[in-house]
Homo-oligomer: A and B are copies of this chain.
């Protein structure tokens, strides 16, 4: 910076003022300084600047993985926002418990960022507390943390509407397939399970633990096992609601391989609406991670500027049921004699009411928690 100052024939203060765009610089001097800076291809060292301003010009994000639709979409909409605000994006990828322990041990973000965005981690009380005195705003993304700024989707409502969609199609034996994530990493399992149960209860359908079978994500084999468990029940389900699209697709894949027609014999519903769902024409409950990334970013910017402001601290995003080709009205059981004994009698009146309700379904889901 001294070089620039010398070349432009001014003091370093003036150079600093010019480069930060302060208005208290005469146009003539400004031009001279900018020219000199360009010629020397000078760039301010954020390190040095932050030393005195106390701001790092950096936002840190903590993500379980960089290699997922969710994280990718969210960061992709967060990044331009930060760039526009002149902030850097710093990524901490914490794929497992070891790394996580190490992260909380040292909290490397301390003093090295102006805000931290925590993605999809199911933190302990203690961990949350540690983040509390990190000395910077911490925003929780895709999760709800009491009393802290959070941006998340209404998973209960999403699962509720999804399950209603299946009920409205006449299904009564509806399975739910949650994902057993790596411990400590939440994928909203509990809340989605809750929504599923709520929908059944409000429809007067008894809960049946046999219909809840968990699986691992990203494994066709694991999905096959879960499916096997369900298909070998005394009364197998006519519809399966998977907690994640990937699992739903694995179920469809396995069902079709076994010549069990989807959706004719079994309906399958996912949750997420990632691109894979579209490829497989999967009915699903959509959420928007890019919207979450954007809103979390905006919240972060606000909190950095004025961390005591009375901003809305909890942002809840809606979900939308997207009916595609893997959900259909429950089959007439007469045509499937093999499983005849396993079938719940369908009350025709209910089916009619269901059809009517189904017509409204997309809409009512759209307005969920808005």
The interface of chain A, by Cβ under 8 A from chain B, is 41, 43-48, 50-51, 56, 58, 65-69, 71-73, 75-76, 79-80, 83, 88-93, 95, 99, 106-108, 110-112, 133, 218, 249, 253, 275-276, 279-280
Contact = CB atoms under 8 A, between A and B. Distances in A.
Nearest to A43: B110
Contact of A43 (B68, B99, B106): B106
Given A90-B88, A90-B90, A80 B67 contact: no
Nearest to A73: B67
Given A47-B112, A76-B95, A88-B112, 4 more contacts: A45-B111, A45-B112, A66-B72, A72-B72
Nearest to A289: B67
Nearest to A110: B43
A279 B249 contact: yes
B112 A99 contact: no
The 5 closest A-B pairs by CB, nearest first: A67-B72, A79-B93, A67-B76, A43-B110, A66-B75
B80 A76 contact: no
Contact of A93 (B45, B80, B93): B80
Contacts of A280: 279
A94 to B, nearest CB: 9
The copy count of this chain in the complex is 2
A254 to B, nearest CB: 12
24 contacts: A41-B107, A41-B133, A43-B110, A43-B112, A44-B111, A45-B111, A46-B47, A47-B48, A66-B66, A66-B79, A67-B72, A67-B75, A72-B72, A79-B91, A80-B95, A80-B99, A83-B93, A83-B99, A88-B112, A89-B91, A90-B90, A90-B91, A218-B275, A276-B279
Nearest to A55: B47
Contacts of A67: 69, 72-73, 75-76
A350 to B, nearest CB: 35
A110 B91 CA distance: 19
Contact of A76 (B66, B79, B106): B66
Given A66-B75, A91-B79, A51 B47 contact: yes
A246 B161 CA distance: 31
B93 A91 contact: no
A72 B68 contact: yes
Nearest to A111: B45
Given A72-B72, A76-B66, A99-B80, A89 B88 contact: no
- Which of A99, A111, A275 has the most chain B CB atoms inside 10 A of its CB? A111
A363 B47 CA distance: 51
Contact of A276 (B45, B58, B218, B276): B276
Contacts of A58: 90
A140 B155 CA distance: 41
